[in-house]
Amino acid sequence: MTIKQLSIFIENKGGTLIKVLDLLSKAGIQIIASTIADTKDYGIYRLLTDDPAQAYLILKEAGINVQLSDVFALSIDDVPGRAAEAVKQISDAGVSILYLYSFLWQGKGVLVFRADPSEKAKETIMLNKMTFLTEKDFK
Amino acid sequence: MDDQSPYLHPQYETLSPEDLKSLQLERLQATVKHCMNSPFYKKRFEEQGLKPEDIKSLDDIRKIPFTTKQDLRDTYPFGIASVPLRQCVRLHSSSGTTGNPTVILHTQKDLDEWANQVARNLWMVGLRPDDVFQNSSGYGMFTGGLGFQYGAEKLGMLTVPAAAGNSLRQIKFIKDFGTTAIHAVPSYVTRLYEVMQQEGVDPRKDTKLKVLAIGAEPHSEEQRKRIENMMGVKAYNSFGMSEMCGPGVGFECKEQNGLHFWEDYYIVEIVNPETLEPVPDGEIGELVLTTLCREAMPLLRYRTRDLTRVLGHTCPCGRNHVRLDRMRGRSDDMMVLRGVNIFPIQIEKILMQFKELANNYLITLTTDEDNDNMTVEVELEELFTDDFQRLLELQKEIKRRLKDEILLTPHVKLVPKGTLPVSEGKAVRVVDKRKVYQ
């Protein structure tokens, strides 16, 4: 039910982001969505790609601090109120959302998030019959 | 002593250079002879085939091997002493975080002479028995506490052992007791001023302060000026080290043009730390000191590891005791931050306990406003989480463990693996950007 997301530790310093993007571009890997969360000193760059396993290997080999994390990707209708509804269902079940970002994909909204506890989130998504995307959807 | 006299010990302070030299030779010969009561020095002289009678001139001091901090550690605790323990009345010691602590013994006469040096310094900058002296320095093993206490009392001042910290109480004392002089590390004076501002206390109007003694922490001329402007009084630089006794060894006179090192108490040499040959006046080298008046633990040619230079041998104040520049750094990797001595190895030892971290690290020392700060950059071995909370927890835990070790809280910065500088295969561990070294 979850998909693999790349999480990259980057310093708040010029040139670090370019290095990552360059490596992915040379390997022909497509970025579906990405977001940066930052503190004063460093940030975590999170990306969804069409080939996370390959991307991970390439970055790792280049000595980048990278991790594969499991995140949920819910597909919602692109109309006001749908995101609120989804997030409410999740949090009402006692699940915490560690971070969340969203983007549009083929006419639909996508909510990407990491949940704790993960098992409980899965259960909630099943019970509420929410639509989720898998890695296949991004190939 | 007459309050009008600029000198507390005119017979020593105003000696001509020639008389000073002959006094030094006489005292050096007596010291070397006395050192033969020390098992350590006796053995060392025998190994060198050197006899006390071989010291015929001041230049002959160069025949004597250097004494190092390692020698003090190797002979821990009492192996260098030149008198039986029953004649000793006081012991001071370093924290010993990088091995055996260094122990310094004192007889009653040593303590009296130590107090004399501090009293001389305080008199030199205009303090008299009518003054009230507040010692806002750590007590206990740190010699800045008892050293200034006994010295200020010797001079005859009302002396307040306020110790460090509790700034509100310090300020209350300053106002209520009519404190005219404070001794503290420079960063603590800045702290006191901040609290005074918060409390609406103007040091110029609301206190009787007239003199500050600052030391035990490297500081630049610029920092001194700022402290003087804040507090509205003169701040004089003090040099001390527990191996010599503590504070008192060197102090600025009212000219504020270098620290007078008391040559009736010490022989001052400046050597190239690599070749150990003397360097010419004006050139920076390592300060080497020989005690001339110590009973319990005389030290011959002790390598202080402090870097400085000779500014001159005369002074408009009338004292012909050598003037040395403020300390310019260290010839070993010891850092002095807010009066605390820290070696990189202490930090390394802690960092290596975190499996989340790679081996490389970088310590940067900076002066922000007037405070000296340490930033430790550490490389993340692997991104073990993409949860910020856990990264922040790791940062906090590193901070806490470092604080337990070095007694100061550094900034800790996580950086990606492979980003810290490595030069010629050897890692750069410490970058000192503090103003004093520029």
Q: Indicate the number of domains in chain A.
A: 2
Q: Which residues contact A86 (CB under 8 A, 6 or more apart)?
A: A74, A76, A111, A130
User: Do A52 and A65 fall within a single domain?
Assistant: yes
Lowest mean pLDDT among A111-115, B258-262, B406-410: B406-410
Please say whether the dihedral angle defined by the alpha carbons of residues B201, B207, B213 and B216, taken in this order, is positive or negative.
negative
pLDDT of B424 over the 50 cut: no
Do B387 and A98 make contact, defined as CB atoms within 8 angstroms? yes
User: Do A56 and A81 fall within a single domain?
Assistant: no
pLDDT of B300 over the 50 cut: yes
Interface probe with A: pick from B360, B381, B382, B383, most Cβ of A within 10 Å: B383
The mean pLDDT value of chain A amounts to 92
Residues 91-110 of A with CB under 8 A from B: 98-99
What is the rounded CA–CA span in Å between residue B413 and residue A40?
10
User: Do A86 and A100 fall within a single domain?
Assistant: yes
What the block records as the tokens of A86 is: 């989804």
Domains and CATH numbers, chain B: 10-331 (3.40.50.12780), 337-437 (3.30.300.30)
The ipTM estimated for the assembled molecules is 0.76
User: Do A65 and A76 fall within a single domain?
Assistant: no
Give the pLDDT band (50/70/90) at residue B438: very low
- Give residue A102's domain range: 71-138
Please identify, among A69, A85, A100, the residue that sits at the C-terminal boundary of a domain. Answer: A69
User: Do A35 and A86 fall within a single domain?
Assistant: no
Do A42 and B385 make contact, defined as CB atoms within 8 angstroms? no
**DSSP type of residue B136:** -
How distant is the Cα of B411 from the closest Cα of chain A, in angstroms?
A: 11
- 8 Å CB contact between B107 and B135: no
**Which residues from B are below 8 Å from A67, CB to CB?**
382-386
User: Do A76 and A132 fall within a single domain?
Assistant: yes
User: Do A16 and A27 fall within a single domain?
Assistant: yes
Residues 373-432 of B with CB under 8 A from A: 380, 382-389, 391-392, 413-419
End-to-end alpha carbon distance in chain A: 16
Residue type, B147: G
User: Do A128 and A102 fall within a single domain?
Assistant: yes
Higher pLDDT, B419 or B402: B402
Nearest CA in chain A to B420: A11
User: Do A51 and A97 fall within a single domain?
Assistant: no
User: Do A64 and A82 fall within a single domain?
Assistant: no
Please identify, among A15, A40, A69, the residue that sits at the C-terminal boundary of a domain. Answer: A69
User: Do A75 and A62 fall within a single domain?
Assistant: no
User: Do A65 and A79 fall within a single domain?
Assistant: no
- Percent of chain A having pLDDT more than 70? 100
- Whether the full predicted model's pTM is greater than 0.80, yes or no, is no
Mean pLDDT of A28-39: 92
pLDDT of residue B422: 63
- Percent of chain B having pLDDT more than 70? 96
How many CB atoms sit inside 10 A of residue A97's CB? 15
The mean pLDDT value of chain B amounts to 92
A41 touches chain B (CB under 8 A): yes
Host H or E run for residue B411: strand B411-416
Mean pLDDT of A38-46: 87
Could you report the per-residue pLDDT of B23-51, keeping only the tens digit for each?
999 999 999 999 999 999 999 999 999 99
pLDDT of residue B99: 64
Burial (CB < 10 A; 0-12, 13-18, 19+), residue B68, is: middle
Nearest CA in chain B to A114: B387
**Residue carrying structure tokens 């002074």:** B315
Do A10 and B419 make contact, defined as CB atoms within 8 angstroms? no
pLDDT of residue B428: 65
What is the rounded CA–CA span in Å between residue B298 and residue B71?
13
- 8 Å CB contact between B405 and B347: yes
> Which CATH number covers residue A92?
3.30.2130.10
User: How many contiguous H segments (helices) and E segments (strands) does chain A have?
Assistant: 4, 7
- 8 Å CB contact between A49 and A31: yes
Could you report the per-residue pLDDT of B74-103, keeping only the tens digit for each?
999 999 999 999 999 999 987 655 567 889
What is the rounded CA–CA span in Å between residue B59 and residue B28?
11
Could you report the per-residue pLDDT of A53-87, keeping only the tens digit for each?
999 999 999 989 999 999 999 999 999 999 999 99
Higher pLDDT, B423 or B90: B90
Please identify, among A39, A69, A99, the residue that sits at the C-terminal boundary of a domain. Answer: A69
User: What are the contacts of B193-198 at 24+ separation with CB within 8 A?
Assistant: B193/B227, B193/B230, B193/B231, B195/B167, B195/B168, B195/B171, B196/B171
B305 three-state secondary structure: strand
Mean pLDDT of B172-184: 97
- Beta strand B323-324 pairing with B310-312: antiparallel
